Chain A
């Protein structure tokens, strides 16, 4: 949005979200430390810290990576997406604590610089069992660091949404690095297969969720519209579009959302200017189309964000003939006012 930036964009919902994150983390750490101390009384403070923060970070990473596809499969999960970046920064913080203490514990006791020691104390890159797994963790941490420091909207705006999204897609690379960091690291010293099963279950769950969500989206992208007349294509009967909601159509390589508001139909480009959220999956709140991802708003008749915000999306012509909705996929310039189509 283009109003003045604040350090952290808190509102009531985000505060509730953040409190929940804090409670979740606190309960997890408490449980982990208590159980470890019961099983192993000899555990040192450093070991407790290194292990509890690392497992919590891995757990949070799985939750974060599941939120996207879950939301695409079921709208009920959308509240989780709303403040996902705070969950991400929290995950990075725990990963950083784990990384720093591990570096201190395993590499800071000699007169070599700890980071140099991290790279040079084990160079068995050709071996699986003795692979320098700590290096994998460091690279994942660097990716999480770059994501965390650019998680403010200032960066989204200034690096451009495309660059920003690409940078943040490196999380998938970081995920595979984390999985291998765990598999080639701590699991090499464990005889119990339960840890392998847990990591495997986590990875498979994420793969299945992402593939399911992806194939669902593909179906939408492969929609065929047979009827065409004077540049308009027939998309659906009027009755299929609920009030204050939209249906999304994929025509000529663009997704268009047709919204019903105050007994009229309006069509706008489906992609939110903020992070590319699916506007057609949101609803009309206070007379504005509201993005389901982060609540960015647009007016249905002209695709403009209400002042003081300045985002604009393309608009389209829509008409109703005999209770059937016809849509013209030729876009108007972003923010162009269109009359909409009256439902009689």
Chain B
């Protein structure tokens, strides 16, 4: 029971962190990593939020990499 509880808390924290990450990602990050997001609708940005909450470490990595490439 404790094991299941701990796993659930970790999952909840992970998703919560994803939700926090989703805010700056919606505003800026999405256009940095994918040019197709330029001029895209808010509907699109909202519809990808659940995915951002799950795959946020991957997107964060991609975002950091894209900004680094831009600078150099």
Residues of A within 8 A of B (CB): 1-8, 113, 115-116, 119-120, 145-146, 149-150, 152, 154-155, 157-159
Q: Does B24 lie at the interface of the complex (its beta carbon under 8 Å from any beta carbon of A)?
A: no
Interface residues of B in 32-71 (CB under 8 A from A): 33-41, 43-44, 46-48, 50-51, 54-55, 58-59, 62
Contact B41 A154 (CB under 8 A): no
Contact A113 B8 (CB under 8 A): yes
**Residue of B1, B47, B54, B62 touching A152 (CB-CB under 8 A):** B47
Contact A158 B4 (CB under 8 A): no
Alpha-carbon gap, A122 to B35, bound state (A) = 49
Shortest CB distance B27–A (Å) = 15
Residues of B within 8 A of A (CB): 1, 4-5, 8, 33-41, 43-44, 46-48, 50-51, 54-55, 58-59, 62
Contact B1 A120 (CB under 8 A): yes
Contact B8 A7 (CB under 8 A): no
Contact B4 A5 (CB under 8 A): no
Nearest A residue to B8 by beta-carbon distance? Answer: A115
Shortest CB distance A196–B (Å) = 32
Main secondary structure of the interface of B (DSSP, over half): helix
Shortest CB distance B3–A (Å) = 9
Contact B46 A7 (CB under 8 A): yes
Nearest A residue to B3 by beta-carbon distance? Answer: A119
> Which chain A positions have C-beta within 8 A of B48?
149, 152, 154-155
> Which chain A positions have C-beta within 8 A of B40?
4-6
The 3 nearest A-B residue pairs measured at CB: A7-B43, A149-B50, A149-B51
Shortest CB distance B10–A (Å) = 13
> Which chain B positions have C-beta within 8 A of A8?
43, 47
Nearest A residue to B55 by beta-carbon distance? Answer: A159
7 chain-A/chain-B pairs, Cβ below 8 angstroms = A4-B38, A6-B40, A116-B1, A120-B4, A145-B50, A149-B50, A152-B47
Contact B46 A158 (CB under 8 A): no
Nearest B residue to A167 by beta-carbon distance? Answer: B55
Alpha-carbon gap, A214 to B51, bound state (A) = 32
**Residue of A3, A4, A115, A152 touching B51 (CB-CB under 8 A):** A152
Q: Which of A119, A149, A150, A157 has the most CB of B within 10 A?
A: A149
> Which chain B positions have C-beta within 8 A of A119?
4
Contact B38 A157 (CB under 8 A): no
Alpha-carbon gap, A2 to B34, bound state (A) = 9
When A5-B36, A6-B41 are in contact, do A155 and B8 touch as well, CB less than 8 Å? no
Shortest CB distance A95–B (Å) = 15
> Which chain B positions have C-beta within 8 A of A4?
36-41
When A7-B43, A154-B36, A158-B34 are in contact, do A116 and B5 touch as well, CB less than 8 Å? yes
Contact B8 A116 (CB under 8 A): yes
Q: Which of B36, B38, B40, B46 has the most CB of A within 10 A?
A: B36
Shortest CB distance A99–B (Å) = 16
> Which chain A positions have C-beta within 8 A of B62?
158
Alpha-carbon gap, A119 to B3, bound state (A) = 10
Shortest CB distance A18–B (Å) = 15
